[in-house]
A and B are shown apart, each in its own frame.
Chain A
Amino acid sequence: MQKTQPFANGLNGKNLLASYSAQGKPLNDEMLFPDGTVKPVWRDFFEHLSRLSTEELGSRFSRGDQYLRDAGVLFRQYDETLSTEREWPLSHIPVIIGEDEWQVISDGLIERADLLEYILQDFYGDNTLVASGQLPAKLLSQNPAWLRPMVGVGKQGAPLLNTLSFEIGRGPDGKWWVISDLIEAPSTVGFAVENRIAMGRVFPNFFAGANIHRLAGYFQAFQQRLMDIKGRSAGEVALLSPGPMNQNYAEHSYMARYLGLLLVEGEDLIVQDGKAMVRTVAGLKPIALLWNRLPSAMFDPLELESSSMLGAAGLVEAIRTGALRTVNMVGAGVLETRALMAFFPKIARAHLGRTLALPNIATWWCGQDSQRDHVIANSARMMVGDAFSTVPLMADPRTTAFGNPGDEPRAQQLADMLKTRGHSLVGQEAVTLSTTPVWQDDQLVTRPMCIRISMGRTETGWAVMPGGYARISAGDDAKALAMQRGGKVADVWVTSPQQVKTPSLLSASKNAETRSLTHALLPSRAADNLFWLGRYVERAEQNMRVFRAYFARVSDGADHSDTLPTFIRNELMAGVAPNASDIAERFGEPLALALQAASRISDRFSPDGMMALRGLVADAKALHTRHVPLEEIPVEISTLLRRITGFAGLVHENMYRSDGWRFLSIGISLERAANMCELLTACLSADPASGAMDLALEIGDSVVSHRSRFQIAASASSVTDLLALDPRNPRAVRYHVTRTKDHIANLPTQLEDHHMSHVARQVLLLETHLATCQPADISPEVLDQVKQDIWAISDTLNAYHLA
């Protein structure tokens, strides 16, 4: 960031204000009145900001960013098949709204939520809105978001909507408008919490003293609601996510952890006897309530979108029979259909007897002549887009603005389009948004913004989250259209003149029992990923050790074509070409795979572990691209090895002894034992004079142990004793077979009495075999058989617990 001197002793409030209001449009600004004075709710914060220096601000902002990076909060973008990640675009200046105004907004949105519930029940129930002519039939009959297999579910009686988000903006008259109703899988709440925590790091002193409404109480209420819906029905409450490839996966995993829900993906679920079940390492367990974060059409490939790989077959049937509840109702996304906004005002008048306190952006469905004509007549201030799309019009790159005066041919073209296929188009007023301050180039600048607000149903009615997140436009064009790309997000503070309550989610002891139960359940998919995480990390470590042994010799003067280097390449590195980057790939690749596996289970893996793994992958990559002089390679690799050992330490010192930890640990052990078998097989088959035995000790990290246990030079017998049979050497095959046996004994089984599971029997037999072996019995053939036995154990484990 550029440094400027004038504010070295604190940003001067007057200067700050002057340059901000000089940008010419405080007319509709969140912070300033039209006359340029600061609004009362912003005053304390503005003063606080003015007392800080540019340097102080810079370091505070980076504290917040550091938190977000550490928490793994990233902004993912998708372009066809490519997904890119960039830093979470937090604007470090909050948007501040007083609690009185917030109350007005909340009341308006609650009224709107009740209307939406009424409409949805009708859409999936009696269809009186269409029958009575309040809504054109085509808006349902030709609407892909109206899911016919769900028709009838609206009459089950229970509320269909339990959590909603809205995007609202403030128009030039100072009134708030609903820009979009976010019904299906709105990502709001998780990100709002993360923003809030980050802002706590940016303005810690201010935050502690200011009367800003806290968010935790809202989550307590919502968590309680989920438990209430589930009621007494046996089964879990789970959050169904599309998985790590989804842009909001971080939020899903965060919310699952925060609310104590089981995080599942479609492949975890099975419907059996009409009930939804989750596949866990302990067998099938019932699911009573799903917080669905899939697009509804993807929920069930059997009755909805048949190409869906995200949902699970039979879920819709489970809903129809009442065995499964979902939040929100599958099919509720139909409410997001743009064209419906044209009819909400009329339906509200008929149903409520009054207009909505918080109306949506004026919208016209061009399938009706009068509405279409209005759009054409007022085209200069219209946006036009697909009537059936559920993407908010202003966020859709395909939206067309009639726009620019003088562009007559284009306006004519649009008018023609409206006349021929009007029923598939809507016109929407192009709204002008209010502006809010953003810190840029060491000063405050005005940027258009809208706010995303979330609400959840509670026992006593809708509860609105006191805060939310603001989306801020990248440019200064106040047309909503400019929100499309490159914007920022900001925390929304709702302030009170009085002291506010400070609840914390952690104090909610009411659900303690439920949460511990949930955590005991380990979906097979998660266990599988933990198992592979262990295997890949261990494989990377082994290959690093081989890499180091190789380059220790080469940098010591040996030639790539000498006997031992050739032996290492051919027998221990699968014949890889003799250059550093190909060899480094042998640990770079498993590390990347380890990170992939870890990111699929980020809800069960500590942020520290993730960070350590990310660091490792980045360093391994750097080694790959950076030109490292030959003689420094062993030192560099030793640094990496220390870090990967640190990761293993984290696993063994910091992870809760859950079934998940056991699968991770088994992965490490089986991989290490099998790799050791391979190493020994190769070294025992090599010429005894080649130095292969010393090499085995070095790669097996057992040079010191060998010296203390044997007073002789490394021999085939001493090395096999130490690396294959020694129960006390954590590098030995037997040590890891025993550890695997202990883990397996502690895994949940579905067997009764004294019967052993097949896998427990297999591992006990192998352990006994190793325990009764003498070093002289160990030949390359025997080791190869042991390796086969190890992989057989892995296969059985997979079939029994993970399939």
Chain B
Amino acid sequence: MKYSVRLTIAHYYDQPAANSRHLIRVLPRTLAGRQRLATHLVEIFPEPESRTEGVDFFTNTTTSCFHRDQHAEMSIRLSCHVEMNAPMPWQDMSPNVAELRSICNALTDLGPTSALHFMGPSPRLPPNTAIHEFATDLFDATASTCENVIRIGKALHDAMTFDATATTVDTDAAEAFRLRRGVCQDFTHIMILALQSLGIPSGYVSGYLRTLPPPGGVKLEGADAMHAWVRAWCGPSQGWIEYDPTNATLVGTDHIVAGFGRDYSDVAPIRGHLRSSGGQKNTQAVDVAIAG
């Protein structure tokens, strides 16, 4: 299946900004056997004074840009084609969680894909007792790691209400959990904390969802902006599985991966720093369609 992905992020400044530098992580990744980034273009307006492409620690593609002169607004436009392959038939090869923990204790690889980075805590996710208790109540020691991941993701989905007005991009997971409300970022953060509290390595995935469901399907939540979901490491045989707690589903060909990280701060689509005396307004629009 081939998708056409379009994203526009725009910043409008109350007072003109200058000397601004941004780090952008919006480009879909290429994942062997699953996802391939074909033609792609990231445009920045106004034209930045300098621009560099790079790769971060987790091997996500980054674009860094610098605007020296004053400007009242700045926008980023991504357009690309991504080819997706259907996943292998689902098969649970994961050990139980106790076994997983001892496997994790023996890990010594610090490379970017190692589960070691995803055992917490991370910059945005300090451990939280309430979330830990939520996870403990659901935990089934006799079940496999995958079963526990899915069970917790599903329960979280049922306990939470999707509400785009209840939280902001800066809301922490503990607060969103207390409210039992939030958006994909909150669902994802809470689920990561829940899994980590049980000793299951888990991380944050940013990406895109197809905007319109296939005929007969249901439109998924979170398709109008960049989306987020969870990846959990279920042992060496199973590897990473991905689960979308906002939509209570294992991830298939409708989820296009842009970035892997520990939490939002590792994969924020845009991180910026600028000199301006006023506030700013941000907008984001996403369109993911089947390409011709």
A sample of 4 more A-B contacts (CB under 8 A), given A141-B117, A142-B121, A148-B117, is: A130-B110, A137-B116, A142-B119, A144-B123
Q: Within B260-283, which residues are at the interface with A (CB < 8 Å)?
A: 265, 271-273
B109 to A131, Cβ gap below 8 A? yes
| B102 close to chain A: CB less than 8 A | no
- Using CB atoms, name the residue of chain A closest to B19: A270
| A303 close to chain B: CB less than 8 A | yes
Binding site for B on A (CB under 8 A): 127, 130-133, 137-138, 140-142, 144, 148-149, 151, 270-274, 301-303, 305-306, 313-314, 317, 803
Interface window among B49-57, B83-91, B156-164: B49-57
User: From residue A306, how far is it (CB to closest CB) to chain B in Å?
Assistant: 6
| B21 close to chain A: CB less than 8 A | yes
B56 to A149, Cβ gap below 8 A? yes
The CA of A133 and the CA of B110, in the complex, are separated in Å by 12
Give the number of chain B interface residues (Cβ < 8 Å). 29
Query: Given that A302-B23, A317-B52 are contacting pairs, would A137 and B107 also be in contact in the complex, using a CB cutoff of 8 Å?
Result: yes
B21 to A271, Cβ gap below 8 A? yes
Among A127, A302, A305, which residue has its beta carbon within 8 angstroms of that of B110?
A127
A274 to B52, Cβ gap below 8 A? yes
Among B64, B117, B265, which residue has its beta carbon within 8 angstroms of that of A306?
B265
Query: Given that A141-B119, A142-B121 are contacting pairs, would A303 and B109 also be in contact in the complex, using a CB cutoff of 8 Å?
Result: no
| B120 close to chain A: CB less than 8 A | yes
B50 to A302, Cβ gap below 8 A? no
Among A140, A144, A149, A302, which residue has its beta carbon within 8 angstroms of that of B273?
A302
Q: List 15 A-B contacts (CB under 8 A).
A: A130-B108, A131-B109, A132-B108, A137-B107, A137-B110, A138-B116, A140-B110, A141-B119, A142-B121, A271-B21, A271-B66, A272-B50, A273-B49, A302-B23, A314-B21
B21 to A274, Cβ gap below 8 A? no
**Which 3 residue pairs across A and B have the least CB separation, nearest first?**
A313-B273, A148-B57, A313-B21
| B36 close to chain A: CB less than 8 A | no
| B132 close to chain A: CB less than 8 A | no
B273 to A272, Cβ gap below 8 A? no
Q: Which A residues are CB-close (under 8 A) to B265?
A: 306
Q: Which B residues are CB-close (under 8 A) to A144?
A: 123
Q: Which B residues are CB-close (under 8 A) to A149?
A: 56-57
Among B50, B57, B119, B273, which residue has its beta carbon within 8 angstroms of that of A274?
B50
Q: Which A residues are CB-close (under 8 A) to B21?
A: 271, 302, 313-314
User: From residue A135, how far is it (CB to closest CB) to chain B in Å?
Assistant: 9
A272 to B66, Cβ gap below 8 A? yes
User: From residue A137, how far is it (CB to closest CB) to chain B in Å?
Assistant: 5
- Using CB atoms, name the residue of chain B closest to A133: B108
B271 to A142, Cβ gap below 8 A? no
| B181 close to chain A: CB less than 8 A | no
User: From residue A285, how far is it (CB to closest CB) to chain B in Å?
Assistant: 15
Most chain B beta-carbon neighbours within 10 Å: one of A133, A144, A314: A314
Query: Given that A149-B57, A270-B19, A314-B66 are contacting pairs, would A131 and B108 also be in contact in the complex, using a CB cutoff of 8 Å?
Result: yes
| B180 close to chain A: CB less than 8 A | no
The CA of A148 and the CA of B117, in the complex, are separated in Å by 10
| B68 close to chain A: CB less than 8 A | yes
The CA of A272 and the CA of B69, in the complex, are separated in Å by 12
Q: Within B1-46, which residues are at the interface with A (CB < 8 Å)?
A: 18-19, 21-23
B23 to A303, Cβ gap below 8 A? yes
Query: Given that A127-B110, A314-B66 are contacting pairs, would A273 and B56 also be in contact in the complex, using a CB cutoff of 8 Å?
Result: no
User: From residue B35, how far is it (CB to closest CB) to chain A in Å?
Assistant: 24
User: From residue B165, how far is it (CB to closest CB) to chain A in Å?
Assistant: 24
A142 to B120, Cβ gap below 8 A? yes
Q: Within B109-143, which residues are at the interface with A (CB < 8 Å)?
A: 109-110, 114, 116-117, 119-121, 123
Q: Which A residues are CB-close (under 8 A) to B49?
A: 272-273
- Using CB atoms, name the residue of chain B closest to A132: B108
User: From residue B205, how far is it (CB to closest CB) to chain A in Å?
Assistant: 17
A141 to B116, Cβ gap below 8 A? yes
Q: Which B residues are CB-close (under 8 A) to A142?
A: 119-121
User: From residue A292, how far is it (CB to closest CB) to chain B in Å?
Assistant: 18
The CA of A121 and the CA of B47, in the complex, are separated in Å by 38
The CA of A144 and the CA of B125, in the complex, are separated in Å by 12
User: From residue B154, how far is it (CB to closest CB) to chain A in Å?
Assistant: 29
